[in-house]
Structure 1
Amino acid sequence: MGKKVWIKANGNGIIATGHIRRCMTIAKELADLGAEPEFILSDEDSADLLKTLSDEDGVFYNARILHSVFSDPLTDFPALSEILRDEKPDFFLIDSYFMTEEYFNLLSSAVKENSPGTKTGYIDDLCKFDYPVDMVVNYDLIFDESMYSAPVKLLGGEYAPLRKQFSDIEYKVKDSAGRAFLSTGGTDPYHVIGTMLKSVYEERELNRNVPCFEKDISCDVIVGALFEDEYKDELKELAGNHPEIMLHEYVTDMSEIMKDADFAVTAGGTTLYELCAVGVPTVVFSMADNQMEFVKGFDKVGAAKYAGDVREDDKVLRKIVTWGVASVDNKAFRQKMSDSARSIVGRDGAKKIAEAILELT
């Protein structure tokens, strides 16, 4: 039997799909290396999302539900202690920004008492404190290595856990841009995509004072797994009225869609790393606390243009459209951004993480 690796991650309409999605990528690499990954989930919502995303990818993962509260990890105990005692995994990887020092202290005690051979790891997005684990993963472009005391530190863009479809993509920057890629990840709580599409395709027709493209720009729009049904209907109506808008749901060939894009608009998250791996010039915005700082790193190194936080800046959408209009015929600008993006993101980060996990056990 292979090494038993537990992965704690959740996903829902509040925290979106990013945590589960990236952990699925790591789980796939672990399984390919002969390990036995199993997801540890708080609730049925996360289990349903894992199944939806797994069906999209054509894979299956074992999962265990703790029947706890995703936003209060302390409720994982004592159920977690009991299954640690019974199962004794070789490694326990945790991915949640709700983790506290108290949680890690309880986990350390539970591991010591019930499964002393279990190694632990944490995927960090927020840099809140020095996590008492055996391995820490932080694939931000800008990080402070000195804050971590974990024996194994996997830091920087080379450890971005991207799916294999992004490992070897040929991308060409065209003289003139005519196709855009739009995504907010698994959720769009602020209806950014709908507002943007209305601004580009409808408000210009009303002669409002908004930036506009001189020619029709086609848009590939990613409809996230957790978009509300009513919002999906709104997007479908927009697409029905404007043939330039193409909606993509339950996507299995994301890299192919990205490869055809001349520029992209996305929220911070795994999608941004994927776009950089392909080399698509991108304007990025934030809409969650854990996105704000790391996306600024992409702007700082010239890999993406940061437009702001949609929760705080009502000019974000205007900035995005203005950037798009300005970049259409500026090949040199898009080429420079594409080259920078491809240079800072690794394409085998998930495999490196999986290998490091197995080397520890």
Structure 2
Amino acid sequence: MGKKIWIKANGNGIIATGHIRRCMTIAQELKSLGAEVEFVLSDEDSANLLQTLSDEEDIQYDARILHTVFSEPMQDIEILEEMIADEKPDFYLMDSYFLKEDYFDVINDIIKKNNLSTKTGFIDDLYKFDYPVDLVVNYDIEIPKDFYSAPHKLLGAKYAPLRKQFEGIDYDVIPIAKRAFLSAGGTDPYHIVGSLLKEVYENDGPCRKIPDFMLFTCDVIVGALFEEDYVKELKELAAKYPAITLHESTPDMAGLMKSCDFAVTAGGTTLYELCAVGVPTVVYSMADNQVEFVKAFDKSGAVKYAGDLREDDRIVQRIVAWGIAAIDNQEFRKKMSDKARKLVDGGGANKIARAILEII
């Protein structure tokens, strides 16, 4: 039997899909290396999301539901203690913004009390405290020196856990951009996707004065947690303007990105994917954990940062202006593409999986 790996992650309309998505990628690499992987989920919402995303990827994961509140992880402990003592997992990987020091302390006490060899890991991007785990993963570009004391540290963009399809892609930057990629991630609480489409195709703005821009095609990713009424609105826009193509399920995301000449996305896993492919990208933030890391990407020259959706009501116009300027500026897009690909190589999930198996 392979090593037994448990992964704690959740996803829903509040915390979006990012935690489960990146853990699925690591889980897939672990499974390919012979490990037994099981997700530990708080509730049915997370289980449904895991199933939806698994169907998209055509790979299934074992999971158990604790029937607790995702934002109150200490509710897990009574159930987890018995599970850990009885089943003796080799590794417990945690990915949740709601975990506090007391959670880690109790998990470590359970392991010690039962004389187990279980190792622990945490995926971090908030720097709340020095996490008492055996392995910490943080794939930000800029990480404070000596912040973590974990014996095993996987730090930097090379550890971004991306799907296998994002490794080793050849990307061409063509002279005149003709196709845009538009994403907000798993959820779009500010409806920026719809606002951008309306600015380009309906409003009486700069785009209406540039015939070539109106011939642009736009590939739009419809996130798994977009509201039903909002999806209906986007479908109505796509029906009205043939240049708009909606993608509600995209198994070959890398192939779709490769076919596009520039992109617009929120900070998150999609940004790392676009960088791995080499698509010139303008990025915006819409959550606290996104702000500093997208600014670091901007500083590196790999992307252009448009601002924070929550604070700046001119972001839509700024993004469209960037798109207009980028259409015939091949050199500008090429520089961004080259810098992005140097930052992210697409092999992070495999590096994480191998590191986990090496310490257990």
TM-score range, shorter chain: over 0.9
Q: Report the Cα offset of residue 346 of structure 1.
A: 2.3
Output the aligned Cα RMSD. Answer: 1.2
| SS, match of residue 146 in structure 1 | coil
* Aligned residue in 1 for 2:59: 59
Helix, strand or coil at the partner of 1:346 = coil
Question: 2:352 maps to which residue?
Answer: 353
Alpha-carbon shift at residue 145 of structure 1 (Å): 3.5
Report the Cα offset of residue 213 of structure 1: 4.3
Tell me the distance in 2 between the aligned counterparts of 1:344 and 1:174: 21
Cross-structure match for 2:271: 272
1:37 maps to 37
Structure 2 CA distance for aligned equivalents of residues 30 and 253 of structure 1: 21
Task: Determine the C-alpha separation between the residues in 2 that align with 1:222 and 1:21.
Answer: 15
| Partner Cα distance (1:114, 1:61) in 2 | 27
Say if 1:89 and 1:115, in contact at 8 Å, map to a contact too.
Answer: no
Q: Match of 2:281?
A: 282
CA distance in 2 between partners of 1:324 and 1:277 (Å): 20
Number of residue-to-residue matches in the alignment:
358
Specify the code of the residue in structure 1 equivalent to 2:236. E
Q: Distance in 2 between matches of 1:278 and 1:213?
A: 28
Q: Could you tell me which residue of structure 1 aligns to residue 185 of structure 2?
A: 185
Instruction: Find the aligned partners of 2:346 and 2:271 in 1 and give their Cα distance.
Output: 13
Contact 2:177 2:261 in 1 (8 A): yes
Distance, in Å, in 2 between the alignment partners of 1:201 and 1:279 is 26
Match of 2:293 in 1: 294
Q: Distance in 2 between matches of 1:151 and 1:95?
A: 18
CA distance in 1, matches of 2:95, 2:13: 17
> Is the CA contact (8 Å cut-off) linking 2:201 and 2:208 kept in structure 1?
no
Tell me by how many angstroms 1:84 deviates. Answer: 0.7
Deviation at 1:115, TM superposition (A): 5.6
Contact 2:142 2:296 in 1 (8 A): yes
Residue 101 (structure 1) shift: 1.1
Question: In the alignment, is the contact (CA less than 8 A) between 2:267 and 2:283 conserved in 1?
Answer: yes
Aligned-partner Cα distance in 1 for 2:211–2:51 = 43
The 1:211/1:291 distance shift into structure 2, 3 A limit, reads: farther
CA distance in 2, matches of 1:194, 1:329: 25
Cα shift at 1:209: 6.7
Q: Shift of residue 113 of structure 1?
A: 2.0
**What corresponds to 1:78 in structure 2?**
78
CA contact (8 A) 1:210 1:318 kept: no
Name the TM-score, length of structure 2 as normaliser.
0.97
C-alpha distance in 2, partners of 1:91/1:209? Answer: 54
Of 113-122 and 21-30, more deviation after overlay is shown by: 113-122
In structure 1, the residue matched to 2:321 is 322
Deviations 1:74-105 (A, max 9, x none): 11111111111111100000011111112111
The verdict on how the C-alpha distance between 1:325 and 1:168 changes in structure 2, with shifts beyond 3 A counting, is: same
State the 1:227 CA deviation.
Answer: 0.8
Instruction: Tell me the alpha carbon deviations over residues 123-171 of structure 1, each in whole angstroms, 9 at most, x when there is no partner.
Output: 0011111000000000001102401000000000110111011112111
Amino acid at match of 2:40: I
8 Å CA contact 1:26, 1:354 repeated in 2: yes
Give the 4+ runs in structure 1 shifted more than 4 A: 208-213
| TM-score, L = length of structure 1 | 0.97
Distance 1:59 1:115 in 2: 34
How far apart in 1 are the matches of 2:211 and 2:271? 27
Using the alignment, how far apart are the partners of 1:145 and 1:270 within structure 2? 23
- Which sections of structure 2, spanning at least 5 residues, go unmatched? none
Q: Which residue of 1 aligns with 2:152?
A: 152
Q: Unaligned 5+ residue runs, structure 1?
A: none
CA separation in 2, counterparts of 1:129 and 1:88? 27
Q: 1:120-139 to 2 correspondence within 5 Å?
A: 120-139=120-139
In structure 2, the CA distance between the partners of 1:77 and 1:213, relative to structure 1 (3 Å rule), is farther
Could you say what secondary structure the match of 2:154 adopts? strand
